[in-house]
Structure 1
Amino acid sequence: MISQNKYCNNFGKNGHYEYGTNLINKPKIIPFDKAERIKNMSFNCLYMTDDYIIIGSDSRETLSSSFYNDSMQKTFINKEQKLVWSMTGICKYKNIDYIKLVNEVMNSQAELRDKCILIQHLLKYPTKDKSFSTSNIKIRFNLFVGVFENKKPKFYSVEVINGKCSDANGIYDKINYPFASGVHFEQCNYLNLKIMDNKIKDDCVLEFTKLISNVIEYDKDKTKTVGGDIYVAYMDRNGNITTYINGKEAYF
């Protein structure tokens, strides 16, 4: 869940680009009583400076209130296209693996904006489950994409809630706070921005991994939808990408 930004080219509900008008300051905080009504949401986050983009997530798929798959990778890269992306929310619906489907689109040779527009429309169907139409449960899908265009960082955001595309969907070229989706946004307040802005790669990765680890720990007696290994991708302004699992450099 994000807000619009004056630095955003918005592709909104109909796939048309417009300029957003509102400022992004900090991610919205969802109290626990509301957060627990968000179906199957884990946690992912993106932070960017003029010199790098870092993105990551947990790897839990919630199968039921007491069964989990903690090996559901949700953060991915394409070194050839110099893209990093991460998603959270609904993973599978009626035997369709939407993570695989999204990755097929992301790895295609289409323009990035066109990929995002297609993805937001593809995810309308699985998030519009009539069985939740009379309840307070929100079925969401969120996708964050990081890219450098002409050496400048860009953040593409796609959010679909109960079959509706968010007005905040668009391209952001300036943000001043970590972006998070899923549950427990308030934990972003504990990310040490001094470390992140010092731009020492190893320190940034460890601090970012620590944030996601803290969310996993915090969630153990709450929604229980965040867990598993922590996947993080770091991309510098030249498009060089390094990947990490649980804070250690690893290929994925």
Structure 2
Amino acid sequence: MGSPEGDIPQKSDSVDTRLAWLENEITELKPSLAQRMERLEKELPQKKSAGELLLDLLSQVAVPIISGLVVLIIGYAIKDSVDQALARQQLQLAYASEMQPLIEQMSKPGASLAEIESAALMLATFGDHAAVPLVNQLQHEGSLRALGAETGLRAMALGEPAVACLVLERMINNRTRLYGWETHLRAIRLLGDLHCESAMESLQAYQQLLVGVDNEALLTRYRAILRRDSAPNRDSIAQISETLQRSREVLETSPMP
């Protein structure tokens, strides 16, 4: 006699009855056995290809190595830049120490033009490092020191023409009353003599400052860009205008040597 559907079969039931009951129980499982098997298969790790395994290995090994190399390169670059900055500073200090006696020789009371020019020429051998002290000496208007500084800047331009042209052009572009008219005059003359072609626009702009200076108001405006103890008159302005015209003609007609 078979067991009713849903009742647990008894030992006295036939084998077929008991198997039918088990099949029915398996079918009614929530989730079913098939669903459970499917879920287990999804949870199992997927087998990776040889290429994927190689990429995983490389990422585990290469990333730390690359990171270390990047840190090493950056550290070396920083150290190298610091070393270069220190070396430049030490070189500047050494140059300043060596140039000091020459600057003192140019500034010595009663020094002859020959002595001043000799010191200026020695200063010029320091290249672009000599630009600032020579420009400072150029500001001593009406003195032999300014003549000597002009000689030194000409000599410096033989080895550092771009630097010489740059500092001279900055001088005539300055509108903060740092320089006097004689210093501007010397700078304008040097810009032509040294064939500073890059200074053409600056020379033209300076010439515009002199337009109409016969008018007292415009003359006052021009004086406002010069050092306070520098008082140009109409004769000195005419001299500057002539030098400007000459320097512009040199740059326009004469090729750079």
In the superposition, the TM-score normalised over structure 1's length comes to 0.27
Q: Which structure has greater strand proportion?
A: 1
Higher relative contact order, chain-length normalized (CA < 8 Å, sep 6+): 1
- Of structures 1 and 2, the larger Rg is shown by 2
Q: Which structure has greater helix proportion?
A: 2
